[in-house]
Amino acid sequence: MLDWIGPAMVIAAKDLRLEMRTKSILSSVGLFALLVVVVASFSFPATGAGKNGVAAGLLWMSFLFSSLLGMGRSFSLEDEEACIEGLMASPAPRESIYLGKLLANLLFIGAVEAVVLPAFLILFQLEPGRGIPLLALTAFLGTLGIVALGTLFSAMAVKTRTREAILPLLVMPLCVPIVIAAVKATETALGGAALSASASWLYLLAGFDALLVTVGLAAFPYVLDE
Amino acid sequence: MSSRVDEATAGAGDGRDVGRQTATRWRRRALGFGTLVGLGVLVWAAFAYAPQDIKQGPSQRIFYIHVPSAWIAFLAFAVVFGASIAFLATRNHRWDQVAVSSAEIGTVFTTAVLVTGPLWARPVWGVYWSWDPRLTSVLVLWLIYLSYLALRGYVVEPDRRARFSAVLGIVGFLDVPIVYLSVRWWRALHPNYVVLARGGPQMPGAMLATLMIGIAAFTLLYLYLMALRLRVERLRANDLEERP
Amino acid sequence: MSLAPLGISLERVVKRFGPEIALLDIDLEIPQGSYVAVMGPNGAGKTTLLKVIAGLARPTSGHVSLAGVRLSDAGPGLRALVGFLGHESMLYPDLTGLENLMFHARLHRLAEPRKAALETAGLLEVETDLSRPVGSLSRGMRQRVAIARAVIHQPRVLLMDEPYTGLDEHAAASLASLLQRLHTPERTVVVTIHEISRALAGPERIVALAGGRIAMDVTTFEEHERISGEYLSLLARGGER
């Protein structure tokens, strides 16, 4: 299992290099995430008593949709010029390909979130204060789950007739637990609560993430091998 | 009509094939008959045998369709899960046929749950939908079923379609319990949500018996529909193979 | 360190894509150091044959072995012995040639990725174009970089699917002499070729597929006219299932 890590890092590094060159994912995903937050805030004004709840929901809608966009794009780059076959013909285990793409996706989406989150706090006039660690941890755990699912299914999506368009159909029903847990924990965080206040939601996220990554590792070879 | 199709396929094989197909046909007919009987008994039990619920009145009887449908919805998905694993392990397309058949039938039963639930809730509680954890989990299950069928529709090549569906079937099945857990915790934070009780803390014996009859009858119905659907799937597969 | 004989062996290989049969009952032995041309009409299964040997496609039934080890039993490490070039370049268009080559060198855990990339590029005569994004290179140049990618790890089995397609005479002759150089007693070369004259001018053996089966398997040392005629009549028969 340890020999999955080396090739995974090589693949993730390649994805980073590619993205630094083109910035195609970061720019489109980043802009999209920001747009969702801004436009949605016109549709659902977050004011008054339920403000934290509405804001948390909007934030996660933005993260979810932009993650799906980014992951679809990431795998379509492998489909161009049959690069995925180049990976499959190398001695890198299939699991490394999954881990490498997962890591790269996580980094890209994490980078986008690192920019969108402060903007979001400012736009909604939120000051989580002591809730920041909870906010950050929730963002990480929630994103990890979405990326674990999305990396697995985007490998499938590129081979379908509608390509990346089918990715939301496949991932969204499956990520309901992630959305529920992440929004609840985020809402609590926005109210300034510490980590312990949302312990059960965090455990749910962490446990579900572990399950998703494990299943992703096990299922990925079946998706790739023709 | 079904016997004509049977005769057409019977002519294709040798004597042993004919014998086997005849036996299968009779098993299927027995299953169909059993289903009819079971459903008949259920109708009688639901309307005549089971007592009327004191609080909810006659509309409570829809429960005898609602709960068995939910049972089958989850049973069918468990079959999809098992068949998906079996397919990936053996690469035998028969398992894929089982998976898709169960998924289609499961979707129908899940729809039945989602229709009978609100129909029951409205006269009793005044709202059609209350985000009850069980019903909400069924809603998500329904969406997963639909995404399964959508995926199959968008992948042309049969091997790939079977592989991809199998992965989705496995991930989806593992997902559902977590969905239920998260929805339950979520709703527990809102104490004034409406609970669709199963008939009170203690169900009278007759109600329980009717429920059991319902579950048994619906299981027979599921098996019968599976037999019919699998036959269509096998005919389709054979048809494709014989084409030059 | 002695190198074990690295032959390719296919036993009763069948490959189906749903109802479509791509390969049927393929029994094939290719000893180490062979130089084989795989030929046949379109849709005969040539690409599938190469992909099955490269481990990119799993046989529906039957076994593929390298050096006596079945691919289905072997771990991913066995793929280090094989170099594969398909119809597409497997190069990221936005990365430079050097970056693409170094990426593959690292995937293959080569000790000095940069050195290997530069050396292989030199062998393919593309060392001057390595700093440009691959997408901006001409087709011929890109193909050379693609070949460099396929051989950078010094594979002992080289599989190339229709490398001559779209090349002009000069480039084709250049490729032919490159393959001749790459073909050593330690390295097996299997190439898909369309032109019979090309197949007779370098490879030692021609395996022709038709309808997923092996229809012809001859050595090319003599009787070029007879072989040519036999192949052309194979094509004329249509070879379609």
d(CA B91, CA C101): 36
At residue C34, the pLDDT reads 92
Task: Return the H-helix or E-strand segment holding B22.
Answer: helix B15-44
Number of domains in chain A: 1
DSSP C81: G
Residues of C in contact with B155 (CB under 8 A): none
Q: Establish if B163 touches chain A: CB-CB under 8 angstroms.
A: yes
Is there a contact between C60 and B91 if contact means CB atoms under 8 Å apart?
yes
Interface test with C, best of A9, A17, A79, A90 (most C CBs within 10 A): A90
Task: Give C68 to chain A, closest Cα distance, Å.
Answer: 18
Is there a contact between B181 and A204 if contact means CB atoms under 8 Å apart?
yes
Q: Establish if A92 touches chain C: CB-CB under 8 angstroms.
A: yes
**Mean pLDDT, to the nearest integer, of A142-148?**
97
Per-residue model confidence as pLDDT tens digits over C153-169: 999 999 999 998 878 88
Is there a contact between A226 and C56 if contact means CB atoms under 8 Å apart?
yes
Which of A120-124, A193-197, C159-163 is modeled with the greatest confidence? C159-163
Query: Above 90 in pLDDT, residue C113?
Result: yes
| Band (C44; pLDDT cuts 50, 70, 90) | confident
Residues of A in contact with C92 (CB under 8 A): 14, 18, 77, 80-81, 83
On whether the CB atoms of residues A104 and A11 are closer than 8 A, the answer is yes
HSE (side-chain half, CA atoms, 13 Å) at C137: 26
Per-residue model confidence as pLDDT tens digits over A59-69: 999 999 999 99
On whether the CB atoms of residues B102 and B79 are closer than 8 A, the answer is yes
**SS3 of C108, please?**
coil
Residues in chain B, pLDDT under 70: 1-16, 189-203, 240-244
Residues of B in contact with A201 (CB under 8 A): 185
On whether the CB atoms of residues B215 and B71 are closer than 8 A, the answer is yes
Interface test with C, best of B159, B164, B235, B238 (most C CBs within 10 A): B159
Is there a contact between A177 and B175 if contact means CB atoms under 8 Å apart?
yes
Residues of A in contact with C82 (CB under 8 A): 89
Q: How many other CB atoms are found less than 10 A from the CB of residue C218?
A: 15
Interface test with B, best of A141, A174, A186 (most B CBs within 10 A): A174
Q: Establish if C61 touches chain B: CB-CB under 8 angstroms.
A: no
At residue A12, the pLDDT reads 96
User: How far is Cα of residue C189 from the mean position of the Cα atoms in its chain?
Assistant: 7
Q: How many other CB atoms are found less than 10 A from the CB of residue C93?
A: 18
At residue B14, the pLDDT reads 54
What DSSP letter does each residue of A112-149 carry, written as one string? HHHHHHHHHHHHTT---GGGHHHHHHHHHHHHHHHHHH
> Taking the domain B2-242, which CATH number applies?
1.20.120
Per-residue model confidence as pLDDT tens digits over C15-40: 988 778 899 999 999 999 999 999 99
Is there a contact between A160 and B151 if contact means CB atoms under 8 Å apart?
yes
Residues of C in contact with B158 (CB under 8 A): 17-19
d(CA C127, CA C132): 11
| Band (A189; pLDDT cuts 50, 70, 90) | very high
Residue C157's DSSP bridge partners are C82, C188
Q: Cα dist. B135→B120, B141, C235 in Å?
A: 12, 10, 63
Interface test with B, best of C15, C17, C52, C240 (most B CBs within 10 A): C17
| Band (C110; pLDDT cuts 50, 70, 90) | very high
Q: What tokens were used for C128? A: 């001057």
Is there a contact between C107 and A83 if contact means CB atoms under 8 Å apart?
no
- For B39, counting Cβ atoms within 10 Å of its Cβ (0-12 exposed, 13-18 middle, 19+ buried), the class is middle
Domain residues for A27? 2-225
Q: Establish if B242 touches chain C: CB-CB under 8 angstroms.
A: no
At residue B7, the pLDDT reads 42
Short-list B212, B202, B201, CA closest to B68 = B212
Is there a contact between B158 and C18 if contact means CB atoms under 8 Å apart?
yes
Q: Establish if B151 touches chain A: CB-CB under 8 angstroms.
A: yes
d(CA C100, CA C229): 43
On whether the CB atoms of residues C178 and C187 are closer than 8 A, the answer is no
d(CA C206, CA C189): 12
Which chain B residue is nearest to residue C60, measuring alpha carbons?
B91
Q: Which long-range contacts (CB under 8 A, 24 or more apart) does B220-223 make?
A: B220/B31, B220/B34, B220/B35, B220/B38, B221/B35, B221/B38, B221/B39, B221/B72, B222/B72, B222/B75, B222/B76, B222/B105, B222/B109, B223/B31, B223/B35
d(CA C28, CA B237): 31
Task: Give B242 to chain C, closest Cα distance, Å.
Answer: 9
Is there a contact between A89 and C104 if contact means CB atoms under 8 Å apart?
no
Rg over CA atoms, chain C: 18
Residue C63's DSSP bridge partners are C11
Backbone angles phi, psi at C195, to 5 degrees: -85, 125
Interface of B with C in 80-109 (CB under 8 A): 91
On whether the CB atoms of residues C139 and C181 are closer than 8 A, the answer is no
Answer positive or negative: Cα dihedral of A199, A205, A206, A207: positive
Length of chain B: 244
Residues of A in contact with B170 (CB under 8 A): 215, 219
Question: Identity (one letter) of the amino acid at C25?
Answer: D
What DSSP letter does each residue of chain A carry, written as one string? -GGGHHHHHHHHHHHHHHHHHH-HHHHHHHHHHHHHHHHHHHHS---STTHHHHHHHHHHHHHHHHHHHHHHHHHHHHHGGGHHHHHHHSS--HHHHHHHHHHHHHHHHHHHHHHHHHHHHHHTT---GGGHHHHHHHHHHHHHHHHHHHHHHHHHHTTSTTGGGGHHHHHHHHTHHHHHHHHHHHHHHHTT--GGGGHHHHHHHHHHHHHHHHHHHHHHHHHH--
Backbone angles phi, psi at B243, to 5 degrees: -65, 135
Which chain C residue is nearest to residue A225, measuring alpha carbons?
C57
Is there a contact between C19 and B243 if contact means CB atoms under 8 Å apart?
yes
Q: Which long-range contacts (CB under 8 A, 24 or more apart) does C15-22 make?
A: C15/C45, C15/C48, C15/C52, C15/C57, C15/C59, C15/C60, C15/C212, C16/B159, C16/C60, C17/B157, C17/B158, C17/B159, C18/B157, C18/B158, C18/B159, C18/B240, C19/B158, C19/B240, C19/B241, C19/B243, C21/C212, C21/C241, C22/C48, C22/C212
At residue B242, the pLDDT reads 59
User: How far is Cα of residue B134 from the mean position of the Cα atoms in its chain?
Assistant: 16
| Band (A17; pLDDT cuts 50, 70, 90) | very high
Interface test with B, best of A180, A209, A220 (most B CBs within 10 A): A180
Q: Establish if C241 touches chain B: CB-CB under 8 angstroms.
A: yes
Task: Return the H-helix or E-strand segment holding B145.
Answer: helix B133-154
**Mean pLDDT, to the nearest integer, of C168-187?**
89
User: pTM for the complete prediction?
Assistant: 0.90
Q: Establish if C16 touches chain B: CB-CB under 8 angstroms.
A: yes
Which chain A residue is nearest to residue B144, measuring alpha carbons?
A173
Answer positive or negative: Cα dihedral of C43, C46, C52, C54: negative
**SS3 of C90, please?**
coil
Of A7, A83, A89, the CB nearest to C54: A89
Task: Give A87 to chain C, closest Cα distance, Å.
Answer: 8
Task: Give C209 to chain A, closest Cα distance, Å.
Answer: 21
Q: How many other CB atoms are found less than 10 A from the CB of residue A183?
A: 23
d(CA C144, CA C150): 10
Task: Give C19 to chain B, closest Cα distance, Å.
Answer: 6
Query: Above 80 in pLDDT, residue C1?
Result: no
Q: Which chains touch B (3 or more CB pairs under 8 A)?
A: A, C
Is there a contact between A180 and B88 if contact means CB atoms under 8 Å apart?
no
| CB proximity list for A7: less than 8 A, separation 6 or greater | A90, A91, A92, A93, A96, A97, A100, C107
* Domain coordinates in residue numbering, chain B: 2-242
**SS3 of C62, please?**
strand
Of residues A163 and C103, more confidently modeled: C103
Interface test with C, best of A10, A16, A21, A78 (most C CBs within 10 A): A10
Q: Establish if C60 touches chain B: CB-CB under 8 angstroms.
A: yes
d(CA B209, CA B203): 10
Task: Give C150 to chain A, closest Cα distance, Å.
Answer: 9
Of C76, C87, C104, the CB nearest to A86: C104
Q: What tokens were used for C1? A: 């360190």
Is there a contact between B151 and A184 if contact means CB atoms under 8 Å apart?
no
